[in-house]
Amino acid sequence: MNALVIDLDGTMLHQEVEAIKVRGRSGYTYFSGRAAEILSQISCRMPIVIATARNNNSVSGLVRQLPEVEFAGFVMENGLVSRTTLEAEPSCDPVWDQVATAFPDWERLPYYEQCFGAIVPESARNNARKKLNSVLEKLEIKGYVYTERHKIFASRSAPDKLAGLRRLSIEPYIVLGNDWNDLEIMKDGSYTAVLADAAPILQQLVCRNRGYKSPWKSHWGTIDVLLWAAKIVMNKEI
């Protein structure tokens, strides 16, 4: 099934205040009301799939506020969780509870099912990756450790949104992304677009593939790439 695949943070969600706000651990990010209108119209013609590092609980907080948009699937936790509906029962891997007990001073991030996520105290951040790898080794867990700004994660496999899409039999026909974890799905996409402040590696990929790089950032950039996608889907202005 061909679909429009959209990343959230930095692609659809931004810090600047807009009509729709989505709660996060440390505050809100926002989704443009105009972007919601365009997505709704696209969803009448092509399936839309969210592909994000966020978990089921967080994605639900956005989707509940977009009742006019029909979503065909959700790839979450960087590809570790794939669902056609957000109402499905969570499938939590108990091994991450064992990992969490080894770090009582770290603030564990809630609601993640197939990975361990935490905020590491600033005083311990220099050695956090090494310590986490050491615990995984002691527990005989073959894992992959990665960081996202002030957060640290461990999972049984490397982040791979494309693998998550494959489990849903989704082809990334049009892909809107922003960061390194969108690279593989953008390589596989037929049409790709980024905002002006996307990771340089994605900007380079889009230029090589003759995709679209918006001259705008934040909500203006989101609206711009969605209108670009709408022209491909509908062959007309919205």
Write out the residue range of the structural domain in which residue 37 sits: 2-88+159-234
Q: What is the pLDDT of residue 173?
A: 96
Same domain, yes or no, for 84 and 167?
yes
pLDDT digits (tens, 9 = 90+) for 85-143: 999 888 899 999 999 999 999 999 999 999 999 999 998 898 999 999 999 999 999 98
The residue out of 134, 155, 176 marking a domain boundary is 155
The residue out of 155, 170, 187 marking a domain boundary is 155
Q: What is the pLDDT of residue 149?
A: 79
- C-alpha span between 224 and 238 (Å, rounded): 12
Residue of 104, 14, 29 lying closest to 61 (CA atoms)? 29
User: What's the total number of domains in the chain?
Assistant: 2
Same domain, yes or no, for 12 and 70?
yes
Same domain, yes or no, for 176 and 107?
no
Token digits of residue 142: 């073959």
Q: What is the pLDDT of residue 236?
A: 59
- Quick check: pTM over 0.85? yes
pLDDT at 238 > cutoff 70:
no
Percent of the chain at pLDDT > 70 equals 99
Q: For residue 159, is it left (φ>0), alpha (ψ between -120 and 50) or beta?
A: beta
Highest mean pLDDT (candidates 39-48, 83-92, 150-159): 39-48
Q: Write the CATH number for 229.
A: 3.40.50.1000
Q: Write the CATH number for 112.
A: 3.90.1070.10
Same domain, yes or no, for 147 and 192?
no
For the stretch 201-206, contacts whose Cβ atoms lie closer than 8 Å and that sit 24 or more positions apart, written own/partner, are 202/177, 202/178
Same domain, yes or no, for 62 and 110?
no
Same domain, yes or no, for 110 and 29?
no
pLDDT at 156 > cutoff 70:
yes
pLDDT at 57 > cutoff 80:
yes
What is the average pLDDT value for the chain, to the nearest integer? 95
Q: What is the pLDDT of residue 27?
A: 85
Token digits of residue 181: 């974890």
Helix (H), strand (E) at residue 36: helix 33-43
Q: What is the pLDDT of residue 237?
A: 54
The residue out of 155, 178, 197 marking a domain boundary is 155
Q: What is the pLDDT of residue 90?
A: 86
Percent of the chain at pLDDT > 90 equals 89
Rounded mean pLDDT of 130-157? 93
